[in-house]
Structure 1
Amino acid sequence: MKLSVLDQIPVTKGNTAVATLDKAKELALLADELGYHRMWFAEHHGSASVASAAPEIIVAHLAALTKNIRLGTGGTMIMHYSPLKMAETFKTL
């Protein structure tokens, strides 16, 4: 069975966005080590309680650190971007 992880990257009480992104990295490395198939990152805007306004940046960073897990953006808000921009961004990844 292929298992996946969804991380909305919530900034919990007492943490900073930087610490939260470090936790996301730790989770991705652990999921990769444990053999999870895929990890998704949601996209959220306008909230200090979520550190995932640009999941494609997070994916690019974590792809350089992981070995086998597939990384993706599970909630990209396409209505905020042109189709060409989205296609080029994810083609580059």
Structure 2
Amino acid sequence: MSATDEFVEADNAEAIITRIEHKSRKIESLLKQWKPVEALKTALEGSPPNTRDERCKSANWIVVHRAIMAIKDLDALFSSLDPEYYDILMNFE
């Protein structure tokens, strides 16, 4: 497998965008239910695989950012998150 094979092909970008849009609707529903931590976990779960498609990266960041901005007490959030979520957050550039 070459280095370029590790990245999602552009043909799959539309499918990734569709999944992100679905996830966004779920996150908005969680935020309306006053469940911001669950919204952030949902935003981080199933983050797009390695992709060079900037639309996918941007769309996913918007969803994660929306969930983070709804949280009032970030210290409490970070102390309650599992380490796997830290790893996902650190992958955002």
Q: Where on the TM-score scale, by shorter chain, does this alignment land: which range?
A: 0.3 to 0.5
| Higher strand residue share | 1
What TM-score does the superposition give when structure 2 sets the normalisation length? 0.39
Radius of gyration: which is bigger? 2
Q: Tell me which protein shows more helix as a share of its residues.
A: 2
